[in-house]
Structure 1
Amino acid sequence: MTQGKLSVNNKPANSEGQQGNAEKKDSSTVPSAPPTYEEATSAEGVKAGAFPPPLNVPLHPTWAYVDSSTSPHYGSGYSPDTETLTALSWDDQNVRRVFIRKVYSIISLQLFVTVAIVALFTFCEPVKGYVQANPAWYWASYAVFFVTYLILACCSGPRRYFPWNLILLTIFTLSMGYMTGMLASYYDTKSILLCLMITALVCISVTIFSFQTKYDFTTCQGVLFVMAMVLFFSGIILAVMLPFKYVPWLHAVYAVLGAIVFTMFLAFDTQLLMGSRSYALSPEEYVFGALNIYLDIVYIFSFFLQIFGSGRD
């Protein structure tokens, strides 16, 4: 009985004590509400020591800025100091300059080979007599020229894949040089030299004009197409009429029209290399760019030879 009473009498006391201890423990473990930004940064709170002073960190640290003069700039490529690779864009002027230099280097080699073949067929009498006595080589070279031109102009894979693009371009240049040399072998030496000088002056002046002028020749595709079609059908008519009767004045008109058309094509193809016009060639198409300009120059020379050249006796 005594133990029962004690247990009964002590139960509410223990429960009240436990509740009081739980309330004290809860009140001691519950954290206080965090201060607001105004309270934390106010001078009173800092002076009183209630809150620690804020960290002295600048809003814009110096490491967030990059010096453009010392950092790898746009189009710089690989730098051994920083060992970083920067992405190159086709619109970068450095890439465009390298592309233009590569195109004109290829054209210079092509023209050198062509002039050498023309000189060989003009000044070497045995070679000149052989090529004139065997016209089958001319038609064979024309077939090679036509096939290689179609491959380079219509198939982007072969003209971009090294070394097949340069191999095809070499075959194309040799075949075109053979046809030009055989054509020149029927004309007088003075006429050939005169036409070479005229062609050089015209091509250099048109190239400089195309680089300097604000006029956009790349927008004249429709006009060039119409003139090319007129030249094409005029050539077919002359080829049909030639076996029956040769008309000198009609042939001269055709040659003048051809010289004008391919001079305009030279300006058009030159501005395609620049990259600052309405239309531009990709820097991957250096073979295609060299092919077009070389063909324009050779055709200009051929038409000038038909205009100003005089046949051999």
Structure 2
Amino acid sequence: MSGFINSTHFVWTEPSSYLATLKQTTTIQPLFNIFLTVPFGIYLRYFFKTSFKQTLLLSFTLSLFFELTQLSGLYGIYPRPYRLFDVDDLLLNTSGGLLGFYLQPLVTFFLPTRESLDQATYARGQKVGYFRRLLALVVDYCILGVITFIIALIWRLLKLPAIHSEILQYCLATGVYFLIIPILWRGKTLGKALLQLQIVADHHPRWAIFWRQLLLFFIVIPSFQLWRVTLDAAVASGQQHFDVYLFIIGLSLLPPLLFTGNFLLSWVTKRPQLFYEKLTHTRVISSIHPTQQP
């Protein structure tokens, strides 16, 4: 305290010195070191319901992380430290966390409780929309791409026949990932597990999941590529049998158009069950379960 008074313009008996003192670096730096971790202390007690000792330990650990980061030059990114290890900062940051602990009831008085937040989150998690399903599908296809690459690499190393190898590799990778894994894993793939989704069936779940996945990944999705393949064949043939190819292109466009129409209708009516799910009596549900409240 004496060091603070001697290094600032602060005089108890002169209120005019208060504002000047607040503007000085020797005042601003300690205050900001305290305010830096006040939200951390509030958050720990509000969301995780930590005790005083737990808040003290976690605030000290966070402050120690700051100081070690500065001392190590961001853990070796820089050749030397850009700041010194300051014990005062360590104490001030820890004090800020404890101050936040005591301020939490006042600050969060008008905020919803942790229990109500959990209930609202669970209610939202039970709703399975198309965006969530599409995101799971994107994750699955990223993983499938890695699996396909591995299969293609093994295919080449074993010097297997290259005739229709792409089709065989697709069938092998897709069959393993989208047929076998969901059957063995109770309607889940890695993407669905990550997004907490699950395929369920009304009757004979394994067979129903098998037929659902077979319709989707071996008929519906490939149909979006069929018209392009037919168009390439028509261009390559020139004028020969052009009318026949044109008819086949029209037929190949029919499944994607029907699927798109079915999707739009389902999206507008807010009934996220597409035709291949209705045929197989399956649906996608949320696998999120209510957690036990602390």
**Smaller-chain TM-score range?**
under 0.3
TM-score, length-scaled by structure 2: 0.27
Higher relative contact order (CA 8 A, sep 6+): 1
Give the structure with higher Rg (CA): 1
